[in-house]
Structures are given as C-alpha cells and as structure tokens.
Amino acid sequence: MRCRQCQTLPEEVARAADLLGRRWVLAILWAAAEAGAVRFNEFKQTLEGIPPRTLAQRLMELEQAGVLERRVLDARPPRVEYRLTDVLDARPPRVEYRLTDAGRRLGTLVDAMRAWAAHA
C-alpha cells in the first residue's frame, strides 16, 4: 500500500546522496578542508589505504559535481595540488584543485557527522 502523504525523494537529494555515499568522498572532503592535504601523495598519506586509482577517480567526480575546482598553471615538472584557498605555494603547481563554494558548504555536513560520531 502506498503512503498518500509521502513524497518521493527529490532528485537533487538523490544526486547528493549518491556522490557523498561513494567510498572515500567524505574523507577526501575532510582532507581538503581540515587536514591541509594539497598534493596527491599527501592525500594518500592522510587517507591511509585509499588506492591511487580510486583517489584520482573521486577527485575527478568531485570536480565534475562542482565541489572541487581544477586550475592548470604553467610549471615544470608538472604537479597536481589541491587547495582550499587562493594562497599559492612558493613552488607553482601545474594543476591544483580547490573547493568551490558548494564544496565548502559540505563542510557543515562533515562537522555534523564528526559531532554525531563523537557522541555515539
């Protein structure tokens, strides 16, 4: 029997749950926002156990979802960096990722989950 008062799950909620429910996504967001990880290897060190292929895939998915911003800069040798602010490192990167406004707003969700876990 179908509930007459129940609403279907909104499409935007389903999309957000799909993205955020993928393995390692919330950990990557935390690493970008809180741990200060800026390079691929720093993410790997911060997120022990994440396969490099998975990390690369999740970064691409977060970029496509508008959570991370990718900027290509001219540098030799090519490097990839992930940033939250506009402050550039003294050694200019070739490619860097930054959280977008939408990505920074997800920090509230991560903080709420951390608070819940601390009291669970």
What domain range is 41 assigned to? 25-119
Instruction: Kindly state whether residue 49 falls inside one of the protein's structural domains.
Output: yes
What's the per-residue H, E or C state across the chain? CCCCCCCCCCHHHHHHHHHHCCCCHHHHHHHHHHHCCCEHHHHHHHCCCCCHHHHHHHHHHHHHCCCEEEEECCCCCCCEEEECCCCCCCCCCCEEEEECHHHHHHHHHHHHHHHHHHHC
The answer to whether the pTM exceeds 0.75 is: no
Q: What is the CATH number of the domain that holds 100?
A: 1.10.10.10
Instruction: Kindly state whether residue 5 falls inside one of the protein's structural domains.
Output: no
The whole-angstrom separation of Cα 102 and Cα 120 is 28
Instruction: Kindly state whether residue 37 falls inside one of the protein's structural domains.
Output: yes
Looking at the structure of the chain, the number of domains it has is 1
Instruction: Kindly state whether residue 16 falls inside one of the protein's structural domains.
Output: no
Mind listing the pLDDT tens digit for each residue in 34-55?
877 767 888 899 999 999 999 9
Residue 66: name the closest of 12, 112, 113 by CA: 12
Instruction: Kindly state whether residue 19 falls inside one of the protein's structural domains.
Output: no
Per-residue confidence band for 91, with pLDDT thresholds at 50, 70 and 90 = very low
Cβ atoms 109, 20 nearer than 8 A = yes
Instruction: Kindly state whether residue 112 falls inside one of the protein's structural domains.
Output: yes
Residue 103 predicted with pLDDT over 70: yes
Instruction: Kindly state whether residue 71 falls inside one of the protein's structural domains.
Output: yes
